[in-house]
Amino acid sequence: MTTAPLRLTCAATLLLASLTANAQSKDIVVDPKGEVPYAIDQRNAVVKSGTDLCWRTGYWTPGAAAETKAGEVPVGCECDKDVVGTEKCAPAAARGAAPAPAAAPTVAASAPARCDFSYALPADSAFAFNKSALTPSARAALDSAVLGKLSACAEVSSVIVTGHTDRLGTQSYNQKLSEKRADAVQAYLVGKGLKAANIDTMGAGKTQPIKRCDDTLGRKKLIDCLTPNRRVTIDVKGPARQQ
pLDDT of residue 21: 44
Q: How far apart are CA 165 and CA 179, in angstroms?
A: 10
The torsion angles phi and psi of 144, rounded to 5 degrees, stand at -85, -45
DSSP strands (E only) in 31-103: 69-70, 73-74
Least confidently predicted of 20-24, 112-116, 200-204: 20-24
Q: What is the mean pLDDT of the chain?
A: 80
Per-residue pLDDT tens over the stretch 59-72: 677 777 777 887 77
Strand order in the sheet with 199-203: 117-120, 232-237, 158-163, 199-203
Burial class from Cβ neighbours inside 10 Å (0-12, 13-18, 19+) for residue 131 reads middle
First vs last C-alpha separation in the chain? 33
pLDDT of residue 74: 83
Q: How far apart are CA 114 and CA 163, in angstroms?
A: 25
Q: How far apart are CA 41 and CA 12, in angstroms?
A: 9
Between 52 and 134, residue with greater pLDDT: 134
What is the set of domains in the chain, with CATH numbers?
Answer: 11-96 (no CATH), 117-237 (3.30.1330.60)
Between 187 and 27, residue with greater pLDDT: 187
pLDDT of residue 47: 79
The stretch 35-39 carries a mean pLDDT of 78
- Indicate whether 192 pLDDT > 90: yes
% of the chain residues with pLDDT over 70 = 78
CB 194 within 8 A of CB 156: yes
Per-residue pLDDT tens over the stretch 224-236: 999 999 999 999 9
Between 191 and 89, residue with greater pLDDT: 191
Least confidently predicted of 46-60, 100-114, 204-218: 100-114
Q: How far are the Cα atoms of 1, 27, 38, 39, 129 from residue 54, in angstroms, in the given order?
A: 25, 11, 7, 8, 29
**DSSP single-letter state for residue 157:** -
The stretch 183-208 carries a mean pLDDT of 94
pLDDT of residue 50: 64
How many helices and strands, by DSSP H and E, does the chain display? 8, 6
**DSSP single-letter state for residue 18:** H
Least confidently predicted of 43-57, 175-189, 214-228: 43-57
The stretch 41-69 carries a mean pLDDT of 75
Query: Which pTM was predicted?
Result: 0.58
The stretch 202-207 carries a mean pLDDT of 94
